[in-house]
């Protein structure tokens, strides 16, 4: 018999970034007993790294903005693959969620008349991102954290969930281990909210931390939930490329929002060379107009650097591939050029982009107020995830909810910058509210003793293998190979033959994972943690690859060199991933529901 | 409509120079460095030496990860963002409290072994990981943010940028707890029960100077949070990776408020006469 502690909650929230915290707050406010489990310390989740801002049609800077424009922008950015109901709710509710953050103590940058300031960002028609310099995510997570700690929520820090537990069809809790001591914990819960973020660690070059190992997607998949849109992975156009040790670290889109330009080695602002048809009417066709836009001229159109992330990333790849890249295989991003336009440009840059200034100064010896940065694409975000109901955020498993990056739907084929922070609070709140409501309607459940036992035994196998001394593998080496494989074969430019090869590699990595042995004991043992994370990484890597093979077209974050054009035949359905009865991964196509007429009209009016 | 203005060629030129500069500093040969890393617990531990390769731009955390992958799979280290934004990888490098992810190897003397050890103000879990949970409990004891009722016509508030600049400085804090680690009241005297430490004095300052907040925390600062223990040696300010002027901008103004309200003879006299019978 395995030993474990048991904790009982009405609602268990897994993940304590923006979505998890907001869900926990909402569930606790409705009277539920809430448990919040997080892999790191409270306040360290990936939300902390969000830089540019939170998108909400507050109309503080441009009074023409409203929810319907935000809705239309989000749908256009997502290539209409979005769950339109989520896009509607998001656009309508984001302003209230931002004002709520202010009421809870967040201190956003201000307009001259004392309201919340908003900045320009890619794909947003009007200045829409409430922000705090370039550390908006920190402001948001700290505000939510400091609010949540007074609500009687039980926080289980540095605790990793390794399985969801079910009672018949519905979810009944989760099994976890505490990282510090390596002891097992069983959570008895009537509803579970997955808010574990993304999958970036499946790739070699990424802006994501170690936490982003696809835990939530994989846990839900193994519990029988459907995943959706997993082929849509966002490669952010601007990650650091040099020195090698910082490759992939994010350079905020806010740099371009403040007037930063992209330049190739020939000195050409190449973003003017390829402006997609559906954005042509909104995009400046000369440098002077672009500059007027970032300065707030309401009659100017936005510069092409602020086109959507998928497009900008591909343009950068094209420049590099065709030999026009910067010395270390990226392109130049330059904000220092604004010195020709304003007197105190250096002070202005440091005020608006303080963490970028320090990041480059400390990690790359570059002073961004006088020199350009070298940047290139980095794996940043997964639009796909757990399939949920747009209103309640419940997955296809009763009692299992998902919010934030772990959930699919809002962003379609490509996410607009700033829409993720608003996603977290809008749908975190909804998930918490509906999870608490669901929990209140349930009688207590019984936990499956056999599943608990099996999970614990499997989790401890890497230690047993070390003592048996057979042919074994190290966890870090397997993880590294997985990341290289996905980067090379299922990265920003994809081809069928390469992805089929990736599936073979993943199968062999699965075999190697089954031979992993770890040294040391169960106390704070990163080798063991890495070994356990690998099965999640392998699941999401396979889901991404199979979905990407299935979509034989290019759309949003998904680019196929062998099918480089958009194909209207593929516009009508989302790709679903679920676990078959024999344990294999099943891919299916689910028609996109017909959009309501009033929403369709909004999109027409905003074309 | 591609453009190729003269300005943009300047961009390329200075970018090329920056790239050359960093390549030159990289050196051509691969070097190695030795790290003396604390292994084990507080009662059963020792420094162990590991040698690993050094490449351009590496930070201490890169070296730790490399050592993990090469020869010490169970080497415990806490980290997250590796970009100086989350404050997880706090440790002491050659005796100085630092974020390992922001400490470049090229600023250290690699001819000598580099010593990496855990923070000292908190109980050690294992290797480089300490139990910092006390900080999370300490924060809960501070009176929470309580805004005045919204007073703008649209149901929100108006705040000027100049009124929030100082609060924003304090809110840059990434809770790395390096200031707590270096504070002698906690580190050497272990006054965790009676002193919240520089991190949370800064937190109180952010609340007290928040334009919307209505609570007066001077009473709890003096009693529960032990602000009097701080004798402004500014060690906290020196180690802050966010360059927050902790002592000058947060702690000293709070000390002044406490003195004004609790030690000013005139105020004390007024309070004496106003005191209601218990």
pLDDT, tens digit only, all 278 positions of chain B: 445 455 677 888 888 887 777 676 655 456 899 999 999 998 999 999 999 999 989 999 999 999 999 999 999 999 999 999 999 999 999 999 999 999 999 999 999 999 999 999 999 999 999 999 999 999 999 999 999 999 999 999 999 999 999 999 999 999 999 999 999 999 999 999 999 999 999 999 999 999 999 999 999 999 999 999 999 999 999 999 999 999 999 999 999 999 998 887 777 777 777 765 54
Chain B environment of A527 (Cβ under 8 Å): 68, 73-74
Question: Which string of b and e fits B218-254 if b means at least 16 CB within 10 Å?
Answer: bebbbebbbbebbeeeebbbebbbbebbbbebbbeeb
d(CA B49, CA B34) in angstroms, rounded, equals 6
The dihedrals phi and psi of A381, each to the nearest 5 degrees, come to -160, 150
| All structural domains of chain B with their residue ranges | 31-130, 133-267
User: B42 — contact with chain A (CB < 8 Å)?
Assistant: no
| Alpha-carbon distance values, A182 to A213, A238, B244 (Å) | 19, 38, 36
Distance CA B189, CA A175 (A): 40
Strand partners, B54: B31
The per-residue pLDDT for A469 is 67
The DSSP secondary structure of A472-530, one letter per residue, reads -B-HHHHHHHHHHHHHHHSSSSB-HHHHHHHHHHHHHHHHHHTTB---S-STT-HHHHH
In terms of residues, how long is chain B? Answer: 278
Q: Inform me whether the C-beta atom of residue B166 falls under 8 Å from chain A C-beta atoms.
A: no
Which residues does A390 contact at the CB level (< 8 Å), separation at least 6? Answer: A83, A85, A86, A89, A409
| A163 pLDDT tier (thresholds 50, 70, 90) | very high
Q: Do A268 and B2 touch (CB under 8 A)?
A: yes
In the CATH scheme, what is the code of domain B31-130?
Answer: 3.10.20.30
Residue of A nearest to B9 (CA): A267
Name every chain B residue with its beta carbon within 8 A of the beta carbon of A249: 82-83
CA distance A165 to A599: 39
- The answer to whether the CB of A108 falls within 8 A of the CB of A54 is no
φ/ψ of residue A587, rounded to 5: -110, 135
Q: Yes or no: is domain B133-267 CATH 1.10.1060.10? A: yes
A209 to chain B: which residues are within 8 Å by CB?
79-82, 86
Please give the pLDDT value at position B264: 78
Give ∠ CA B58-B59-B65 in degrees, rounded to 5: 90
At B25 the pLDDT is 60
Q: Closest Cα of chain A to B272: distance in Å?
A: 34
* Residue the block writes with tokens 């984001």: A94
Structure tokens at B275: 């005191």
Burial class (CB in 10 A: 0-12, 13-18, 19+), A604: exposed
Question: What part of B 98-127 touches A (C-beta under 8 Å)?
Answer: 102, 104, 125-127
What does the mean pLDDT of chain A come to? 96
Statement: residue A96 has pLDDT above 80: yes
**Chain A residue numbers touching B150 (CB-CB < 8 A):** 103
CA distance B58 to chain A (A): 5
Determine the residue of chain B that is closest to A272 in CA distance.
B2
Q: Which residue of A has its CA nearest to B10?
A: A267
Give the whole-angstrom CA distance, residue B197 versus residue B135.
Answer: 9
Residues of A in contact with B165 (CB under 8 A): none
The whole-angstrom separation of Cα A365 and Cα B22 is 8
Q: Nearest residue of A to residue B160 by CA position?
A: A114
Q: Measured between alpha carbons, how far is A394 from A375 in angstroms, rounded to an integer? A: 38
pLDDT of res. B24: 66
State the smallest CA–CA distance between residue A543 and chain B in angstroms: 25
Record: contact A334-B15, CB cut-off 8 A:
yes
B71 touching chain A per CB within 8 A = no
Query: Maximum CA pair distance of chain A?
Result: 72
- What pLDDT is recorded for position A245? 87
Catalytic residue among A201, A256, A314, A430: A256
In sign, the C-alpha dihedral spanning A409, A414, A420, A426 is negative
Interchain contact, B164 vs A286, CB within 8 Å: no
Is A244's CB within 8 Å of B86's CB?
no
CB spacing of B145 vs A243 below 8 angstroms: no
> Contact, B199 vs B176, CB < 8 A?
no
The tokens describing A15, both together, are 């993940």
Are A209 and B139 inside 8 Å of each other by CB? no
C-alpha A21: how far from chain center = 16
Give the whole-angstrom CA distance, residue A198 versus residue A405. 6
Distance from CA of A446 to the nearest CA of B (A): 32
Contacts of B128 in chain A (CB under 8 A): none
Which pLDDT belongs to residue B7?
Answer: 64
Chain A: give the shortest CA distance to residue B229, in Å.
25
Question: Is A362–B85 a contact, with Cβ atoms under 8 angstroms apart?
Answer: no
**Tell me, what's the ipTM?**
0.94
CA separation, residue A455 to residues A2, A165, A244 (Å) = 10, 10, 38
3-state secondary structure A533-581: HHHHHHHHHHHHHHHHHHCCCCECCECECCECCCCHHHCCEEEEEEECC
Chain B segment 219-278 residues within 8 A of A by beta carbon are: none
Taking the C-alpha atoms of residue B12 and residue B4, their distance in angstroms, rounded to an integer, is 11
pLDDT, tens only, A1-23: 789 999 999 999 999 999 999 99
Q: Which residues of A touch B125 (CB under 8 A)?
A: 180, 523-524
Span of A234-248, A419-433, B165-179 with lowest mean pLDDT: A234-248
* Residue from A255, A227, A252, A251 nearest A240 by CA: A251
Contact A162, A531 (CB under 8 A): no
Across the interface, of A115, A133, A267, the residue whose CB is closest to B9 is: A267
User: Taking a C-beta distance cutoff of 8 angstroms, is the pair A195, A403 a contact?
Assistant: yes
Residue whose entry in the numeric block shows the structure tokens 């905020």: A252
User: If pLDDT is split at 50, 70 and 90, which confidence band does A471 have?
Assistant: confident
Q: How far apart are CA B76 and CA B128, in angstroms?
A: 6
Q: How many CB atoms lie within 10 A of CB A190?
A: 27
Q: Which residues of A touch B16 (CB under 8 A)?
A: 265, 327
A244 → closest Cβ in B14, B55, B78: B55
As a whole number of angstroms, the distance between CA B127 and CA A293 comes to 52
Q: Does B26 touch chain A (CB under 8 A)?
A: yes
**C-alpha to C-alpha distance for A56 and A54, rounded to whole angstroms:** 6
pLDDT of residue B21: 75
* Residues β-bridged to residue A579: A585
Is residue B83 within 8 angstroms of chain A, CB to CB?
yes
Chain A residues with CB-CB distance to B17 below 8 A:
371
**Token pair for A327:** 């010395």
Nearest CA in chain A to B20: A327
Q: Which of A90, A204, A236, A380 is catalytic?
A: A236
pLDDT in the model for residue A61: 97
Q: How far is CA B245 from CA A506, B102, B138, in A?
A: 50, 19, 21
Q: How far apart are CA B236 and CA A304, in angstroms?
A: 45
- Which residue of A263, A480, A482 to mutate against B (max B Cβ within 10 Å)? A263
Q: Quick check: A249 and B22 CB within 8 A?
A: no
- Which residues from chain A sit within 8 angstroms of residue B75, using beta carbons? 526
| Chain B residues touching residue A525 (CB < 8 angstroms) | 74, 76
Which of A43, A44, A368 to probe by mutation at the B interface, max B CB count within 10 Å?
Answer: A44
Which residues on B lie below 8 Å from A273 (Cβ)? 1-2
- Assess whether A256 carries a catalytic annotation: yes
Burial category of A9 from C-beta neighbours within 10 Å (exposed 0-12, middle 13-18, buried 19 and up): buried
The Cα–Cα gap between A14 and A402 comes to 9
Terminal-residue alpha carbon distance, chain A: 63
Question: Is residue A156 annotated as part of the catalytic site, yes or no?
Answer: no
Residue A533 has a pLDDT of 97
Q: Is B59 within 8 Å of chain A by CB? A: yes
Q: Which among B56, B68, B86 is the top mutation candidate for probing chain A, defined by the most A β-carbons within 10 Å of its own β-carbon?
A: B86
B82 interfacial to chain A (CB closer than 8 Å): yes
* Residue owning tokens 């801002």: A53
Do A103 and B167 make contact, defined as CB atoms within 8 angstroms? no
Contacts of A378 (CB under 8 A, 6+ apart): A205, A206, A207, A235, A236, A238, A239, A240, A247, A248, A249, A250
C-alpha pair distances (Å), B213 with each of A92, A485, B143, B222, B224: 28, 52, 11, 19, 20
3-state secondary structure (DSSP) of residue B171: helix
Q: Which of A142, A152, A245 to mutate to test the interface with B (most CBs of B within 10 A)?
A: A245
Q: Which domains does chain A have, with CATH numbers?
A: 240-379 (3.90.700.10), 455-563 (1.20.58.100)
Burial, A410: exposed, middle or buried (Cβ in 10 Å; 0-12, 13-18, 19+)? buried
Q: Residue A249 and residue B62: Cβ atoms within 8 Å?
A: no
- Provide the pLDDT for residue A259: 95
pLDDT per residue as tens digits for the range A502-521:
999 999 999 999 999 999 99
| Tens digits of residue pLDDT in A174-207 | 999 999 999 999 999 999 999 999 999 999 999 9
Nearest chain B alpha carbon to A526? B74
C-beta of residue A69 within 8 angstroms of C-beta of residue A182: no
Please report where in the chains the tokens 């920003």 appear, as a residue. Answer: A492
Q: How far is B278 from chain A (nearest CA, A)?
A: 30
pLDDT-above-90 percentage for chain A: 96
Residue-wise pLDDT for A306-341, tens only, equals 999 999 999 999 999 999 999 999 999 999 999 999
**Over residues A44-71, mean pLDDT:** 96
- Report the residue of chain A nearest B21, measured CA to CA: A365
pLDDT of residue B28: 44
């Amino acid at each position: 018999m395995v030993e474990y502690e048991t904790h009982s909650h009405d609602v268990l929230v897994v993940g304590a970034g923006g979505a998890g915290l907001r869900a926990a707050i909402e569930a606790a406010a409705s009277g539920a007993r809430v448990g919040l489990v997080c892999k790191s310390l409270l306040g360290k989740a990936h939300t902390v790294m969000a830089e540019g801002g939170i998108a909400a049609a507050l109309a503080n800077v441009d009074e023409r903005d409203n929810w319907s424009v935000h809705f239309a922008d989000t749908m256009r950015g997502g290539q209409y693959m979005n769950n339109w109901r989520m896009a509607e709710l998001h656009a309508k509710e984001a302003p209230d969620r931002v004002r709520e953050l202010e009421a809870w103590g967040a201190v956003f940058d201000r307009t001259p008349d004392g309201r919340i300031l908003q900045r320009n960002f890619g794909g947003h028609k009007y200045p829409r991102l409430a922000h705090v310099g370039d550390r908006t995510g920190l402001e948001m997570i700290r505000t939510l954290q400091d609010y949540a700690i007074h609500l009687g929520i039980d926080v289980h820090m540095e605790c990793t969930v390794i399985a969801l537990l079910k009672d018949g069809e519905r979810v009944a809790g989760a099994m976890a281990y505490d990282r510090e001591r390596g002891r097992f914990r069983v959570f008895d819960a009537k509803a579970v909210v997955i808010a574990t973020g993304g999958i970036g660690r499946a790739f070699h070059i990424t802006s994501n931390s170690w936490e982003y190992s696809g835990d939530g997607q994989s846990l839900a998949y193994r519990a029988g939930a459907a995943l959706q849109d997993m082929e849509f992975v966002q490669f952010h156009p601007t990650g650091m490329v040099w020195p090698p040790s910082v490759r992939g670290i994010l350079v905020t889109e806010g740099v371009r929002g403040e007037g930063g330009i992209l330049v190739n080695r020939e000195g050409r602002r190449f973003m003017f060379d390829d402006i997609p048809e559906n954005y042509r009417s909104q995009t400046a066709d000369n440098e002077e107009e672009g500059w007027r836009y970032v300065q707030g001229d309401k009659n100017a159109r936005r510069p092409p650097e602020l086109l959507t992330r998928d497009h900008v990333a591909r343009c950068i790849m094209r420049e590099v591939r065709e030999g026009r890249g910067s010395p270390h295989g990226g392109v130049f991003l330059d904000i220092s050029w604004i010195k020709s336009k304003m007197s105190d440009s250096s002070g202005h840059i440091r005020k608006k982009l303080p963490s970028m200034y320090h990041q480059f100064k400390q990690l790359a010896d570059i002073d961004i107020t006088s020199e350009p940065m070298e940047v290139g694409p980095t794996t940043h975000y997964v639009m796909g995830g757990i399939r949920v109901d747009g209103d309640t955020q419940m997955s296809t498993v009763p009692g299992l909810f998902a919010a934030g990056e772990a959930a699919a739907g809002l962003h379609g084929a490509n996410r607009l910058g700033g829409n993720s922070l608003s996603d977290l609070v809008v749908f975190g709140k909804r998930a918490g509210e509906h999870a608490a409501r669901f929990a209140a309607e349930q009688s207590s459940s019984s936990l499956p003793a056999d599943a608990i036992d099996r999970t614990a035994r499997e989790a401890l196998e890497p230690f047993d293998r070390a003592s048996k001394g057979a042919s074994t593998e190290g966890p870090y080496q397997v993880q590294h190979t997985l990341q290289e494989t996905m980067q090379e074969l299922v990265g920003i430019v994809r081809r069928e033959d390469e992805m089929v090869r990736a599936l073979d590699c993943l199968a062999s990595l699965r075999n190697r994972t089954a031979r992993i042995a770890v040294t040391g004991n169960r106390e704070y043992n990163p080798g063991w943690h890495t070994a356990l994370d690998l099965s999640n990484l392998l699941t999401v890597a396979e889901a991404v690859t199979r979905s990407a093979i299935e979509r034989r077209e290019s759309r949003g974050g998904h680019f196929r060199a062998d099918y480089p054009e958009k194909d209207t035949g593929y516009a009508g359905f989302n790709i679903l991933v679920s676990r078959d009865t024999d344990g294999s991964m099943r891919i299916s196509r689910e028609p996109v529901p017909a959009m309501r007429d009033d929403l369709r009209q909004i999109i027409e009016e905003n074309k | 409509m591609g453009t190729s203005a003269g300005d943009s060629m300047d961009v390329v030129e200075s970018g090329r120079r920056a790239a050359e500069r960093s390549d030159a500093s990289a050196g051509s040969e691969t070097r190695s460095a030795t790290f003396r890393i604390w292994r084990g617990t507080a009662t059963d531990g020792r420094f162990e030496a590991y040698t690993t390769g050094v490449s351009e731009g590496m930070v201490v955390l890169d070296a730790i990860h490399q050592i993990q992958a090469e020869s010490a799979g169970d080497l415990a280290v806490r980290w997250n963002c590796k970009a100086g934004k989350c404050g997880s990888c706090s440790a002491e490098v050659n005796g100085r409290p630092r974020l390992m992810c922001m400490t470049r190897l090229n600023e250290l003397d690699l001819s000598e072994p580099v010593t990496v050890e855990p923070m000292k103000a908190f109980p050690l879990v294992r290797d480089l990981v300490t139990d910092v949970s006390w900080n999370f409990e300490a924060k809960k004891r501070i009176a929470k943010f309580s805004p005045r009722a919204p007073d703008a016509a649209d149901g929100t508030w108006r705040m000027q940028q100049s009124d929030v600049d100082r609060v924003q400085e304090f809110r840059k804090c990434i809770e790395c707890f390096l200031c707590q680690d270096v504070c002698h009241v906690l580190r050497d005297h272990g006054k965790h029960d009676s002193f919240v430490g520089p991190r949370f004095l800064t937190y109180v300052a952010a609340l007290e100077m928040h334009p919307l907040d209505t609570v007066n925390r001077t009473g709890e600062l003096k009693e529960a949070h032990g602000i009097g223990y701080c004798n402004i040696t500014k060690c906290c300010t020196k180690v802050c990776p966010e360059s927050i002027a902790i002592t000058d901008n947060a702690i000293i103004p709070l000390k002044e408020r406490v003195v004004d309200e609790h030690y000013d003879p005139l105020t004390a006299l007024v309070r004496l006469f106003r005191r209601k019978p218990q």
